[in-house]
A = this chain, B = another copy of it.
Amino acid sequence: MDVKTLCLGLLSLNEACGYELKRNFESRFKHFFAAGYGSIYPALANLAAAGLVNCREVPQDGRPARKVYEITEAGRAHFQNALGKTPPIHKLRSDFLVAMYFADQIDENKLQLLLDKQISEFHGATVHIERFAQPQSTSISAGAQFVAGFGKTVAQAAASYIEKNRHILECRPAAKLTENHDQIYESTTNEERL
């Protein structure tokens, strides 16, 4: 699934201009699909060229004209087809977990900062999701509700896990950092001890 397809999906719900789509990515998809102008605008041009959306310009004063994109029937069919075909990849890439894996090579203060920061980011994500998916606000779709709940649940589980288990990393056995090479070498020659 690429940005192009997701733009088409958003346009299947409502016509919009690039700027609005960007805001939707930031509010509704922030926790599981990122996209910037650099991929959204080319995607829209591409969709228009393929006849999957129509574009109509709405002049404004003081600003560039809005280019409002509306999905075509071909676009709608294309999107539903793409939804059915795509293998549902769910992929995490986490520099945070990489850093934690190598926690014993990180300075102790730095490590605590990283942990604190990550916890507050998960809390922030929870708050963000709550703000954009309040059930009482303008009748939210079932899909949006499900996805928001998923994001909240996972973020809370993650934050809670870190809070409860950070001690594993923090009480370390006489940490050896860059200064003392000999001991590091000796302690890592062991096979299969990754």
Contacts and interface: CB of A to CB of B under 8 A. Distances in A.
Interface in A81-97: 83-84, 86-97
A104 B13 CA distance: 11
Secondary structure call for the A interface: helix
Name the residue in A86, A87, A101, A117 with the highest tally of chain B Cβ atoms < 10 Å from its Cβ.
Answer: A101
A192 interface: yes
A94 B104 contact: no
A75 to B, nearest CB: 12
Interface stretch (A28-36, A50-58, A61-69): A28-36
A188 B143 contact: no
Given A150-B161, A154-B154, A154-B157, A92 B194 contact: no
A90 B72 CA distance: 36
Contacts of A34: 91, 93
Contacts of A177: 80
A9, A94, A117: residue with the most chain B Cβ atoms closer than 10 Å: A94
Nearest to A151: B97
Nearest to A118: B88
Contacts of A139: 193
Given A83-B106, A89-B95, A114-B88, A100 B193 contact: no
A172 B104 CA distance: 50
Residue from A114, A118, A168, A194 with most neighbouring chain B CB atoms (10 Å)? A194
A97 B142 contact: no
Nearest to A170: B142
Interface of A: 1, 6, 9-10, 12-14, 24, 28-29, 31-34, 73, 76-77, 79-80, 83-84, 86-107, 110, 114, 117-118, 121, 138-139, 141-147, 149-151, 153-154, 156-158, 161-162, 165-166, 168-169, 172, 177-178, 181, 184, 188, 190-194
